[in-house]
Structure 1
Amino acid sequence: MIRMGTVGTNWITQQLVEALALSKSYELAAVYSRHADTGAAFAAKNHAQASYTDYEEMLTQADLDAVYIASPNSLHFEQAMVAIQHDVSIVVEKPAFSNRQEMTAILAALKQHPQVKFFEAARHVHTPNFQQIEKTLTGLPTVQGAALTFMKYSSRYDQVLDGEAPNVFTKEFSAGALQDLGVYPIYLAIALFGQPENVSLFPTLIATGGDGKGLAVLRYTDYDVTVAYGKTSNSYASSEIYGLKETIEIDSAGELTKVGLRDDQGALTDLSEPALENPMLPEVIDFARVLLAPEETQNEKDYQRWLKWSITVNDVLYSLRVAGNLRFPADEH
């Protein structure tokens, strides 16, 4: 069993903990929260062995194999680095790190601690439906780009309209719509098409100074991939990957719950796999496979593939922010 600790007690951590239990490969060894009452309540609800208000104390005392980091984006780097230095593997919510400098430092630390693994919790690219998209894309004789959309109205935007500045919309926390929702279709694009030759970003700024929505263009040699993302409005548009006469249709570039292939007459063949009991279950199963048997050939191959995706997504997100003049305080460090 993998002894897991958690950072954060919000809904995403709860979903992760439930996925850990379903996988039957982990035990929730420890919970970290800045607030003792919150941490204790979360630990009791999920039958964790202990809760802590001191992060380094948890890493030192809880005998962890891995820690899941779901704090505000700007805190990921420091918390991940401390875990690596304690030889604890890290599962970091996307986007894992704020910029190239942070990613470079993490990779250097990983070289100094070769037993430590780093996983970015990009759940959708571990799902059976992603595998269906990948398989179908490989079968297309011609690929002519894609239009990927993920826009969901955030209840936190109500706070912005009331004059507040919630963390998820502030540059101080390395946040905003690109980082929060745009990362999903960006991850999908990188996993399917690789690193673009150049990128452009056209963000719509809101009162916090961060981006509320935007349009990204990833330019490849023979085609473009456009990404529409946002947290200030809803979109119900499908995402599409263009072949010649065929089109792969995806209900949402963030959720991947429905996947189909339209032929040259527009007829749709449903390729969707059955709905998941928990959308985070496939990724925690994948992570466990690597943590429990890191030297197996397929596990090492998969781990290096996921790591490459994470590095490339980090680079593309940073390049997009530079192109769109979206700077974070973390960029100045």
Structure 2
Amino acid sequence: MTLRLAVVGTHWITDSFVSAALESGLYTLSAVYSRTPEQGAAFAARYGSPAVFTDLQTMAESDLAEVVYIASPNSLHCEQSCLFMRHGKHVICEKPLASDDVQAAKMIACAKQHRVVLFEAFKTATLPNFRVIRDTLPALGKLRKALLQYCQYSSRYQPYLAGENPNTFNPQFSNGSVMDIGFYPLASAVALWGAPRGVKAQASLLESGVDAHGTVILDYGDFDVTILHSKVSDSVLSSEIQGEEGSLVISKLSTCEGITLHPRQGAVQSPGVAQYDNAMRSEAELFARLVAEQQIDHPALEVSLITARLLTDIRRQTGVRFPSDDAMP
């Protein structure tokens, strides 16, 4: 039996997730939410015209769907996820899970209270090649340093410079570089090594108040991780994990497109495996399995909460503030 899926949002990332979910054979698309009926209908028409909603409360109360994929602006994740979870819906919410760690903790508590699965749509940690990275780490010997990076010139940067106010660079939507693409290397580090002993961060801020780019250093004792992130410059560099017995080079960390092991002694190896063309299919399959097995308190929640705490701390250090911060204790 397939899961009846509803989606909140109709832009490209929603389209990618729906395609991945349907390809898995584990879902049917049963409902679409959009603020405008025309946009919702146009999206639904590509997938057999499921029901279209323009009111979230009505959608939450409907029995058309049992799981919901949320791809709204970051600032709406907490409110919308909790609405659906209170109505017994399982939720896969786009990363970052919430605007701050207080909201993330609230969402996790809501999921446990209502006995539903909450899952952050962080695709990287669900990929087969990410498991290869984890399994290959012992071959590096004692870990010493890692450079994890994601720097990509945003398609919305020129409109921002032209005086527009795109969501990408708007603190009202809890956005910015580290909350967007910087999330990938940060959450990857947490998924591999857990919570660091400490974090240091610096960033260059735009006039809008969000970070354009920045650097984060995670302290794991005698092993440290440097994270580079930017939405105003491109990079052709790979990421690298260094140990006393060799290094592991990762092409395009967010999708783990290639992995190369460079032993200090011996031949270079390529331990990577085949992955789905649509990188979101792995997370869709994992979410379906968690729902089927009713794994409410699954391990990925701890990764999400640690990452949310780090993001909140990083913003405190770099001076990036969101409206939600005013409500924090």
Once the two structures are superposed, residues 3-27 of structure 1 have per-residue CA deviations (whole angstroms, 9 ceiling, x without a partner) of: 1100011110000000111110111
**Contact persistence 1:160–1:208 (CA under 8 A):** no
What are the within-5 Å matches in structure 2 for residues 136-285 of structure 1?
136-264=136-264, 267-285=267-285
What is the deviation of 1:107?
2.5
The one of 318, 322, 331 equivalent to 2:316 is 322
| Contact kept? 2:142, 2:245, Cα under 8 Å | no
1:305 to 299, 303, 307: 299
The 8 Å contact of residues 4 and 65 in structure 1, kept in 2 or not, is answered as: yes
2:128–2:275 contact (8 Å) kept in structure 1: no
AA aligned to 1:99 is: D
- Is 1:73 paired with 2:74? yes
Shift of 1:49: 2.0
Question: In the aligned structure 2, how far is the partner of 1:107 from the partner of 1:150?
Answer: 28
Deviations 1:120-139 (A, max 9, x none): 00001100110000000134
Note the residue ranges of structure 2 that are not aligned, 5 or more in a row.
none
Give the distance between the partners of 2:210 and 2:266, measured in 1 at CA: 40
How many residues end up aligned between the 2 structures?
326
Counterpart of 2:182 in 1: which secondary structure? helix
Are the equivalent residues in 1 in contact too, given 2:4–2:29 (CA < 8 A)? yes
- CA distance in 1 between counterparts of 2:37 and 2:191 reads 39
Alpha-carbon separation, structure 2, partners of 1:193 and 1:311? 14
Q: Distance in 2 between matches of 1:19 and 1:235?
A: 28
Q: Unmatched 5+ residue regions in structure 1?
A: none
Confirm whether residue 16 of structure 1 aligns to residue 17 of structure 2.
yes
- The aligned residue for residue 55 of structure 2 is 54
For residue 310 of structure 2, what is the amino acid of its counterpart? Answer: V
Whole-Å Cα distance in 2 between the matches of residues 138 and 320 of structure 1? 29
Classify the secondary structure of the residue corresponding to 1:159.
Answer: helix
Between the aligned partners of 2:303 and 2:252, the Cα distance in structure 1 is 20
Could you tell me how far 1:332 is from its partner in structure 2? 1.0
- 1:260-315 deviations in whole A, cap 9, x for unaligned? 10121585311221242211011111111111122xxxx67xx6211111111111
Letter matched to residue 83 of structure 1: F
Spell out, residue by residue over 1:151-181, the C-alpha distance to the aligned partner (whole angstroms, 9 max, x if none): 1111100111112221111111100011010
Aligned Cα RMSD in Å?
1.4
SS in 2 for 1:204: strand
Counterpart-to-counterpart distance in 2, 1:14 and 1:276: 16
Letter in 1 for 2:322: F
Distance 1:10 1:99 in 2: 24
CA distance in 2, matches of 1:163, 1:266: 55
Give % identity.
Answer: 37
Q: Deviation digits for residues 189-246 of structure 1, max 9, x if unmatched?
A: 0011110111111111123221111101111112210100111110011100011130
Equivalent pair of 1:77/1:102 in contact (CA under 8 Å) = yes
Q: Which amino acid aligns with 1:197?
A: R
Residues 1:189 and 1:278: Cα distance change in structure 2 (over 3 Å) = same
Match of 2:123 in 1: 123
SS for the counterpart of 1:138 is helix
Q: State how far apart, in whole Å, the 2-side matches of 1:258 and 1:63 are.
A: 40
Provide closer, same or farther for how the CA distance between residues 32 and 316 of structure 1 changes in structure 2, counting only shifts above 3 A.
same
Q: Distance in 1 between matches of 2:153 and 2:145?
A: 27
TM-score, normalised to structure 1, is: 0.94
Aligned letter for 1:215?
T
Any idea what SS the aligned residue of 2:20 has? helix
Aligned residue for 1:56, secondary structure, equals helix
Question: In structure 1, the residue corresponding to 2:287 is in which secondary structure?
Answer: helix
Contact 1:200/1:324 (<8 A) preserved:
no
Please report the TM-score for the alignment, with normalisation by the length of structure 2: 0.96
Contact 1:199 1:323 in 2 (8 A): no
Please state whether the residue corresponding to 1:216 is helix, strand or coil: strand
Distance in 2, matches of 1:272 and 1:109, equals 38
